[in-house]
């Protein structure tokens, strides 16, 4: 059972010494330990950088967005020319940056990105200024409806789109799935490629204040207050879809039932693994790895 906020207890650490739980029994917003139990040393969690200059912030975020596409490419989330990740522009927040239509995720550099105004016209960016109409219809609606969202990610990843044929939400069957407990929706409509404004608005309305949507017969959509957060939720949700597909197949074969994490435990766990800070921090190793593997080539 998840400990209550009024409880105070110690648990045995791997070294055999008593270790005080973070926040004295409350689910921590960060999976760290208190200063008093960190062997006398305080290790500060990294944070997203802050900028006084919005143009410098734009340049930095464009680099992170290019890295996000490289991560999607590495994970095989591309399917032909389908898929898009958008970043709200910090200089002109009613516009967003997105990948040019027809350029492979794995090849995208910072200089390739294009900026789209609220009217759907490309106003800035690289040499290829083709815009995926579906990207505009979905992401413009999401960015308008959700001022808190900096980044939105969508692609036709294999396990996500497979799960989306079932027309139901994910069950909370793993610790990782707790991040999406009562925090994702199903958009139970499919009208072909999203080419009209109304469809994008309907998707945004269905998403509401949640972090993710399962688009019927289509794929996953995740959002975040940072690029890193949206990317991690997408990667994690794709793996949760894979996990549940395998679990249900195993259960059907053996005749067993899935063990669902109860609501109290799931909500307790979500406080640690499902916060915006947790999303950003969980994505950090992926961004670090792609930078090392590419030697920062995406920053061109």
Write down the pLDDT at residue 26.
57
Write down the pLDDT at residue 57.
98
Cα 197 from Cα 53, distance rounded (Å): 33
Write down the pLDDT at residue 41.
62
Average pLDDT across each block of 10 residues of the chain; the chain has 300 residues. List them in order.
42 34 50 52 80 98 99 97 98 98 97 98 96 97 99 99 98 98 98 96 98 99 99 99 98 96 97 97 98 97
Cα 4 from Cα 89, distance rounded (Å): 41
Do 220 and 231 meet the contact criterion of CB atoms below 8 Å apart?
A: no
Write down the pLDDT at residue 12.
33
Exposed/middle/buried for residue 246 (C-beta within 10 Å: 0-12, 13-18, 19+): exposed
Write down the pLDDT at residue 32.
55
Cα 218 from Cα 54, distance rounded (Å): 35
Q: What is the pTM of this model?
A: 0.88
Q: Which residue has the tokens 């999203």?
A: 194
Write down the pLDDT at residue 260.
98
Instruction: Classify 154 as helix, strand or coil.
Output: strand
DSSP codes, 51-72:
-S-HHHHHHHHHHHHHHHHHHH
Write down the pLDDT at residue 39.
55
Write down the pLDDT at residue 20.
41
Joined together, the tokens standing for residue 233 give 């939720």
Write down the pLDDT at residue 215.
99
Q: Strand pairing partners for 84?
A: 154
What structural domains does the chain harbor? 55-294 (3.40.225.10)
DSSP codes, 221-273:
EEEESSHHHHHHHHHHHHHHHHHHHHHHHHHHHHTPPP-PPPHHHHHHHHHHH
Write down the pLDDT at residue 68.
99
Write down the pLDDT at residue 45.
78
Write down the pLDDT at residue 29.
57
């Amino acid at each position: 059972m998840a400990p209550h906020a009024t409880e105070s207890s110690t648990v045995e650490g791997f070294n055999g010494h008593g270790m005080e739980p973070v926040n004295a029994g409350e689910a921590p917003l960060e999976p760290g330990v208190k200063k008093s139990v960190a062997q006398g040393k305080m290790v500060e969690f990294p944070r997203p950088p802050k900028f006084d200059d919005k143009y410098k912030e734009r340049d930095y975020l464009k680099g992170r967005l290019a890295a996000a596409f490289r991560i999607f490419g590495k994970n095989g989330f591309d399917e032909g020319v389908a898929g898009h990740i958008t970043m709200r522009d910090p200089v002109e927040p009613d516009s967003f940056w997105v990948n040019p239509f027809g350029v492979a995720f794995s090849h995208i550099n910072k200089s390739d990105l294009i900026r789209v105004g609220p009217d759907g016209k490309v106003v800035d960016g690289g040499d290829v200024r083709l815009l995926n109409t579906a990207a505009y219809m979905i992401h413009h609606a999401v960015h308008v409806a959700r001022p808190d969202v900096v980044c939105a990610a969508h692609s036709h990843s294999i396990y996500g789109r497979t799960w989306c044929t079932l027309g139901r939400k994910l069950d909370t069957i793993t610790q990782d799935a707790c991040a999406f407990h009562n925090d994702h929706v199903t958009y139970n409509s499919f009208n072909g490629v999203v080419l009209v404004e109304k469809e994008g608005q309907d998707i945004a309305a269905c998403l509401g204040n949640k972090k993710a949507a399962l688009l019927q017969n289509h794929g996953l959509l995740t959002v975040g207050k940072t690029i890193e957060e949206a990317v991690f939720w997408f990667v994690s949700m794709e793996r949760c879809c894979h996990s549940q597909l395998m679990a249900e197949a195993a259960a059907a074969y053996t005749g067993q039932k899935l063990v669902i994490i109860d609501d109290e435990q799931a909500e307790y766990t979500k406080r640690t693994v499902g916060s915006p800070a947790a999303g950003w921090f969980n994505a950090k190793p992926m961004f670090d790895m792609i930078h090392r593997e590419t030697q920062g080539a995406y920053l061109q």
